[in-house]
Amino acid sequence: MTRVAMHGAAGRMGLSITRILAETPDAKLVSAIDRGANVGRDVGLLAGIAANSVIVRDDVEAALEGVDVVIDFTHPTASVPLFEQLAARGVATVIGTTGFEAEGRAAIERLATKVPVVFAPNYSQGVTMLFALASRAASLLHRGFDAEIVEMHHRFKVDSPSGTAVKLAEVVAKARDLDYEKTKVHGRSGQVGARTDDEIGVLALRGGDIVGEHTLFLAGMGERIEISHRATDRQIFARGAVRAATWVVGKSPGIYDMFDVMGLERP
């Protein structure tokens, strides 16, 4: 049984992970860390499930007692001081927080000299598999199969194309020995001419409440392959982070990602 502490327990991801852990047989939430008004509350009730007697605490040292792994989904300003404590105590770490600058990345590297760390920008198991399949298909179906990517997200998303679509295009470019910056075509309009062999088109659609959809088309003459991932719920990140937490305990110190967790070759 993997004993998990959640850092950022009262946040959106923390509560989602609390719900997933409640239905995971080989892992158990034993400690919940956050700050502010939720300190002192039962995290099960906060997560909308049955009370689990895990009380949100802001005393990190006490909260790390008897813990195998910490899952961190907070903010870089909260994560970096935590990493020092985890290194000192030798606790395996799953980092979901994004937006680290150079100093934060250096802190992660220091932590990883002492303990095993999973650090992934996207914990979705499906998206990780999408990258792995896309890489293989794009390299094996190279000549004569034009690569195009379409992504769809909700109407409120402000950046475009999505980070996942860009990463998918980079994976395709790498699999084909191409430079993504030189081959990318983000949308087409006007007299752009016929497509060239190497270009990788990326088109972003926006509307409604779509959580996130990505499709890679490999379009040949007379046939085409489509590899799609469709997210319907943000709990996919929580499920992947919990899988990472049960996997990382007992590994050698170092930085791992979801390709390692899922036993996939990194594309």
Supply the residues annotated as catalytic.
Answer: 153, 157
Q: Tell me which residues in 88-117 interact with ligand NAD (CB under 6 A).
A: 96-99
Nearer to ligand NAD, 78 or 210 (CB): 78
Q: Tell me which residues in 204-263 interact with ligand NAD (CB under 6 A).
A: 237
Exactly one of 110, 121, 179, 211 binds ligand NAD (CB under 6 A); which one? 121
Compute the distance between CA of residue 30 and CA of residue 111 in angstroms, rounded to an integer: 22
Nearer to ligand NAD, 127 or 147 (CB): 127
Least Cβ distance, residue 16 to ligand NAD (angstroms): 8
Please identify which residue in the block is written with the tokens 């699999």. 175
Exactly one of 4, 5, 6, 10 binds ligand NAD (CB under 6 A); which one? 10
The full length of the chain comes to 267
Write the interaction track for ligand NAD spanning residues 154-183; mark x where CB under 6 A is met and - where it is not: ------------------------------
**Does 74 sit near ligand NAD (CB under 6 A)?**
yes
Compute the distance between CA of residue 54 and CA of residue 254 in angstroms, rounded to an integer: 30
**Does 119 sit near ligand NAD (CB under 6 A)?**
no
164: Cβ contacts below 8 Å, ≥ 6 apart: 122, 127, 151, 212, 214
Segment holding 130, helix H or strand E? helix 125-140
Q: Counting Cβ atoms within 10 Å, is residue 124 exposed (0-12), middle (13-18) or buried (19+)? A: buried
Sign of CA dihedral 179, 184, 190, 196: positive
Question: Do the Cβ atoms of 119 and 258 come closer than 8 Å?
Answer: no
Binding-site size, ligand NAD (CB under 6 A): 23
Exactly one of 23, 25, 26, 36 binds ligand NAD (CB under 6 A); which one? 36
Contacts with ligand NAD by CB under 6 A lie at 8, 10-14, 33-36, 73-75, 78, 96-99, 120-123, 237
